[in-house]
Amino acid sequence: MRDNLVYVHVETVSHLILSYGISKEDFITSIPRLPTNILSLNPVDYENEIDIATGFNTVTGEEDTARYLNKKTVGLKQSWIDFDSQDDLELITPREVAEFLYLGHAFSHIQSPFYYKLQNDYVFLTLPNDALKIYYRYLTQFYNVFSKSTIRHANQSYREKNGLFRRRPMALKKIPKKIVEELMPLFVEGVILDFSRITINNTKLILPVYIMIDNVSQMKWHEPTLETESAKLVANLEYRFVDQEWFIEVSNKSAFEDSIIF
């Protein structure tokens, strides 16, 4: 997929965000705090620490976990679940181990992915096509991740459009909670933000918002369509430089009829 498209699909019941174009860095720099311990759902690496009770690799402690999460090794597709205490892993049952294996292999949950024994806040899965599936205990934490990614892509498009002479990034304010809440009904359907069609002038930035019509199940292995003509334009996200605020300009009101607030 091109770097100037972002895809977002939300499953509200399971607190799942499926996305493409939102990076691991967008996530780890936007959540309130990094996990202190993680259980890797990747194939076991016998050169690294292995938890005896579960048989999975673990990374423990704030420093080591932060170092692992910030690792930029080429080809490393991180998948993990965080946990509160090493002692809690001793309470994990064989059935729960099987559920962890299923998460890492099928990129989906059997039962709720939030475990009382682990006290986990996230399940982070990297799909074969580099899309991300992230389960958030508190789904509102996605708001900051979405804002960070949108601003990053907007600045990238701005630099590309203006070449070498205007490399200084735009000082865009964070997208407020109420704006993301307005977009949530669209995310449930599946949304593409097309940064190749962004318009930036002296007064405002305009970013088109499309509803995706492709089958979401294809996202495990394939990229979302690159042809936004097959999607439906429903709104524009606007940033007005004088006001230093984000707005939504709706072009299809029916797409926003079902309000979803978290």
Domain ranges for the chain, please list them: 14-138, 141-256
Residue with tokens 């200084």: 168
pTM comes to: 0.92
Instruction: Output phi, psi for 122, to 5 deg.
Output: -145, 155
pLDDT in the model for residue 259: 47
pLDDT in the model for residue 223: 65
pLDDT in the model for residue 258: 56
Q: Within 10 Å of residue 193's Cβ, how many Cβ atoms?
A: 24
The tens place of each residue's pLDDT in the chain, 262 residues long, gives 457 889 999 999 999 999 999 999 999 999 999 999 999 999 999 999 999 999 999 999 999 999 999 987 666 799 999 999 999 999 999 999 999 999 999 999 999 999 999 999 999 999 988 899 999 999 999 999 999 999 999 998 888 777 655 567 788 999 999 999 999 999 998 999 999 899 998 899 999 999 986 656 666 566 665 555 678 899 999 999 999 999 999 988 777 775 454 4
What 8-state DSSP symbol labels residue 198?
A: -
Helix (H, G, I), strand (E, B) or coil at 28: helix
Does an H or E element contain 124, and which? strand 122-126
Closest CA to 119 of 82, 79, 152: 82
pLDDT in the model for residue 234: 93
pLDDT in the model for residue 214: 61
Q: Within 10 Å of residue 79's Cβ, how many Cβ atoms?
A: 20
pLDDT in the model for residue 215: 58
Q: Within 10 Å of residue 144's Cβ, how many Cβ atoms?
A: 19
Count Cα neighbours of 178 within 13 Å in the Cβ-side half-sphere: 4
Count Cα neighbours of 149 within 13 Å in the Cβ-side half-sphere: 26
